[in-house]
Amino acid sequence: MDDGLSSGTEAAAPIRVVLTKLGLDGHDRGIKVVARILRDAGMEVVYLGLRQTTDSIVAAAVQEDADAIGLSMHNAGHMTLAPAMLKAMAEAELEIPLVVGGIIPEDDVQSLSDAGVAVVLGPGAPSEEVVNSVRAAVAAA
């Protein structure tokens, strides 16, 4: 029976991304720009703000049914904090991509990728690269 409410061509749900700052890093201008870039590309963005813990991020990602988590790193903690985030995600059996951006030396990109980070974006990454990277990471997951 046709209820007249369904067109038969259901659109895919937009990608839902949780963005946040892990730890004590208080630099949030870049992540706010990324939030707007992703939103303008049609994604749903949940911005948790500053000074989050791995547990609070995982809980929010589960609650929000996120397709990806994005972390912004500007305090040189990426080699400690990104693996801690990946560990917390694994412990919660949260199998979504982790995208890390910010001030990350080129020498650390491969190590982060090897650890399981899906995408590493440097400062000034073009909007198109940000959007396409998140889309590709979600599609590959």
pLDDT digits (tens, 9 = 90+) for 90-126: 999 999 999 999 999 999 999 999 999 999 999 889 9
State if pTM tops 0.85: yes
Start-end of H helices in 41-77: 54-63
Task: List domains and CATH numbers for the chain.
Answer: 16-125+132-140 (3.40.50.280)
DSSP state of 11: P
How far is residue 141's CA from residue 127's CA, in Å, rounded to a whole number? 21
| 6 backbone dihedrals φ, ψ, rounded to 5° | -110, 135
pLDDT digits (tens, 9 = 90+) for 23-64: 887 888 989 999 999 999 999 999 999 999 999 999 999 999
